[in-house]
Structure 1
Amino acid sequence: MRADKNNTIRQPASDMIQKSAPFRSVLFVDHAPVLGGAEQSLLLLLQYLDRAEWQPHLACVPGQLADRAMRAGLPCHLFSLPRLRRSPRFAADGARSARQLARLARQVQANAIYANTVRAALYAAPAARLAKRPFFWHMRDFWLSETKPRHIRADTAVKRLLCASATQVIANSHAVAQQLPCAGKTAVVHNGIEVDKFDPRLDGRPFRAQHGIPEDTPLVGMVGRLRPWKGQLPFLHMATHILRQQPEVYFVVVGGANFAVEDDYARQVTHLAQELGIAGQVVFTGMLDDVRPPLAAMDVFVHPGEPEPFGLVNIEAMAMARPVVAFAHGALPEIVQNNVTGLLTPPGSVPALAEAVIGLLTDDEKRRQMGDNGRRRAETHFTIQRTAREVGKVMQRGVSR
């Protein structure tokens, strides 16, 4: 580039030709103030979409997602969302938010509106209808099951309405897609990460030294927010089984609480470690911005939670060439190849989980081979570049109709 005498930036002709190529603007909508897995995946997607084809705009509430998006240089538009609840007031407030999004879509000349998860879709679907734009719904969570009959009927109606409203539905796993009555509209696109930023050669010794973990002792770990469904309690029970056979093993729990309601659970987790008599060999790191150092320090990664719609941290562990041990439910069988990149055990069986981990701790060659296989699988199946291309293809089909 060069500047003329008026300090106007002039671009080379080749750049100008590239910039003039057709592209489409899309308004991406997210509801969450905190940075969960769905929001992390959305941020990566927005950064890796082909700018020769797509111009993303993000509409979100103030919070961690907005801060990270603005730091990444993404066009970010703040708006407010009412609390999700069953009441006439919610319907009125929701309609107001939908009108606000429709106006924003027109202002940024969006060719389509994209909702990241269910709650965002509740506002983005009517906004797309008002703005007369195609509507893409990216479903990244399991639809929560209700028990009261009238709530079941209401949720079923909402699910069908969103499916009917969507031009195209994207599910982040086959496990999620199976819950949706969107036959013929759903494309499965697995989440991806920046695999190249995960180096299996990273030295884990500094992390061990920082947390008082001996260099030569086996280390088994998990990563996840301190929430019951993430499985910290089963992880600790698993640890007691392992320590009966291998008393030298250490354990690390990476993750913290985001909300006050999670603080009670955090106390429950640390109390259980003390109650089981294993607190001296369990390290709680709290929330970490970078999971690579603890993953580098681990010998085996464990995912002991309830069924996951995807489970991004499992491909992060695989990218670090760590074997993954997990329950065989949710989307985990789509990520972990049993006996190839890790071991899948019967759902809910803590003893089986422990035996799988012990089997890997006592077989260095098997552990290394599974780790290497996991790294190759991450490189071929779970890169953000691949995810962005596939999502781009889905949106291209939708806006071309």
Structure 2
Amino acid sequence: MPLNVLYLHHVARIGGAENSLHLLLHALDRASVRPLFAGPMDGPLPVALAKEGIPIFPVPFGPLKNVPRVLRAVLRLRRIIRAQNVQLLHSNGPQTNVCAGLAGRLEGIPVVWHIRNLLYGSMRDIDRLCSGLATRIVCNSEAIRERFRGSSAWDKSVTILNAVDLGAFNPQASDGSFRRQLGVPPDRTVVGMVGRIGLGKGHVHFIDAAIRLLRGGVNAQFVIVGDAQIPEESARLEMLRRQVTDAQAEERIRFLGFRQDMPQVMRGLDILVLASDAEPCGRVLFEAMASGTAIVATNSGGTPEIVRDGSEGLLVPPRDSDALAVAIRKMIEEPALRQRFGRAGAARARQEFSVERYVTRILDVYEAAGSRHR
């Protein structure tokens, strides 16, 4: 009989954490695990999961300071656990960890926390304070796991880096359509950022570096792939557009919005740039590596665990437009270096970041959680 696992997530929109969850649920062997999902309904994530045949249960999780809402969520989870014979809870983020822990404790079933964010201040303290509610803790990177060092949670936590769909993202995935759509000449290097227009993602520094390089005469096309999903991000996007317009660089720094064809995008880029202040475990890095695309990224958060400086790409200090521009220029001017990084990244993705390896490690956590709970 399969293990009935209820997965919890606090938002219905789709970003990196949601794509990682979807990839896991899609890859699970239904003979081993029967996945169910609980979360808000106002977005594309539950729709996508329902198409996979996954039972969906509406649970509107709220901030921990809203105690009545938290208690209602716990009550709702307990009802689902009983009705569906749920045997394990898998919480996909800090906003659902406490609810999962309370419901699991009251119903006598193991709870796995999956932590995907670098937290600071009160949220980091809450994780440590409430970690006794978790049976096992999965961290997306050692940078994330560090919050538990010196606490009782350290020994029950484990780092499991993200996985990537190697069937979709690989060096042979491109049919050239992305570059044709851009209309760039064959000798022009395409440099891009991919992801939400979120706070701390470093788009300002990417654009600043691009403007400096274009004024210095580099033959490159810069693109920003991704959209704004909340009002604050919409305002940020408009600010970034003004930054480009003020520099009169609209033709060479283009905003492409949300794209469905990410394998084509990744393979169409010559260089992927991740300019975040501190990225916990950026999915775009795995996708770029699997696609054989060279990387320039900031040396912060979990990024150095994924991209090794001088091996799969170049790492620079965060919030440093000058250093970012120097690294991008080096990549543009040395195509052989790009190719070497691309080959190394693709090889490492095949060896270490396959979905099959990822699922096996998650199932090992479930087994350990069940053994500890018995």
Shorter chain as denominator, the TM-score bin is: over 0.9
Query: Which residue in the other structure is 2:5 paired with?
Result: 26
Whether the aligned pair in 2 keeps the contact of 1:49 and 1:389 (CA below 8 Å) is no
Q: 1:312 aligns with which of 267, 283, 299?
A: 283
Equivalence map 1:92-241=2 (5 Å): 92-145=68-121, 152=122, 155=123, 158-180=126-148, 181=151, 182-203=153-174, 205-241=176-212
Q: 1:324 aligns with which of 286, 295, 310?
A: 295
Whether the aligned pair in 1 keeps the contact of 2:61 and 2:96 (CA below 8 Å) is no
C-alpha separation between the residues in 1 aligned to 2:273 and 2:302?
A: 15
C-alpha separation between the residues in 1 aligned to 2:68 and 2:118?
A: 26
C-alpha separation between the residues in 2 aligned to 1:228 and 1:272?
A: 16
Which consecutive residues of structure 2, in runs of 5 or more, have no partner in the other structure?
A: none
Query: How far off is 1:36 after superposition?
Result: 1.7
Query: Which residue in the other structure is 1:380 paired with?
Result: 351
Q: Which amino acid aligns with 1:44?
A: L
Aligned residues: 368
Whether the aligned pair in 2 keeps the contact of 1:295 and 1:322 (CA below 8 Å) is yes
In our comparison, the structure showing a higher alpha carbon Rg is 1
Query: Which residue in the other structure is 2:47 paired with?
Result: 67
Which consecutive residues of structure 1, in runs of 5 or more, have no partner in the other structure?
A: 1-21, 146-151
Query: How far off is 1:333 after superposition?
Result: 0.3
Query: Which residue in the other structure is 1:15 paired with?
Result: none
C-alpha separation between the residues in 1 aligned to 2:364 and 2:263?
A: 31
Whether the aligned pair in 2 keeps the contact of 1:307 and 1:330 (CA below 8 Å) is yes
Whether the aligned pair in 2 keeps the contact of 1:32 and 1:61 (CA below 8 Å) is yes
Please give the per-residue CA displacement for 1:178-237, whole angstroms capped at 9, x wherever unaligned. Answer: 023422110111110111211323446422332333333111111011123111111001
Sequence identity percentage: 30
- Aligned residue for 1:184, secondary structure, equals helix
C-alpha separation between the residues in 1 aligned to 2:227 and 2:34?
A: 35
Query: How far off is 1:244 after superposition?
Result: 3.4
C-alpha separation between the residues in 1 aligned to 2:91 and 2:182?
A: 40
The alpha-carbon distance between structure 1 residues 157 and 198, as it changes in their structure 2 partners (threshold 3 A), is: closer
Whether the aligned pair in 1 keeps the contact of 2:163 and 2:354 (CA below 8 Å) is yes
Whether the aligned pair in 2 keeps the contact of 1:200 and 1:320 (CA below 8 Å) is yes
Whether the aligned pair in 2 keeps the contact of 1:211 and 1:283 (CA below 8 Å) is no
Query: Which residue in the other structure is 1:148 paired with?
Result: none
More off after superposition, 288-297 vs 97-106: 288-297
Question: Does the alignment pair 1:271 with 2:247?
Answer: no
C-alpha separation between the residues in 1 aligned to 2:134 and 2:259?
A: 36
Please give the per-residue CA displacement for 1:312-351, whole angstroms capped at 9, x wherever unaligned. Answer: 0011011110111111110110100111111111232221
Whether the aligned pair in 2 keeps the contact of 1:303 and 1:325 (CA below 8 Å) is yes
Whether the aligned pair in 2 keeps the contact of 1:66 and 1:78 (CA below 8 Å) is no
The alpha-carbon distance between structure 1 residues 286 and 157, as it changes in their structure 2 partners (threshold 3 A), is: closer
Please give the per-residue CA displacement for 1:2-55, whole angstroms capped at 9, x wherever unaligned. Answer: xxxxxxxxxxxxxxxxxxxx4321111111121121111111111222333222
Moved over 6 A (4+): none
- Aligned residue for 2:327, secondary structure, equals helix
Please give the per-residue CA displacement for 1:71-94, whole angstroms capped at 9, x wherever unaligned. Answer: 122222222234x263xxx11221
C-alpha separation between the residues in 2 aligned to 1:248 and 1:327?
A: 23
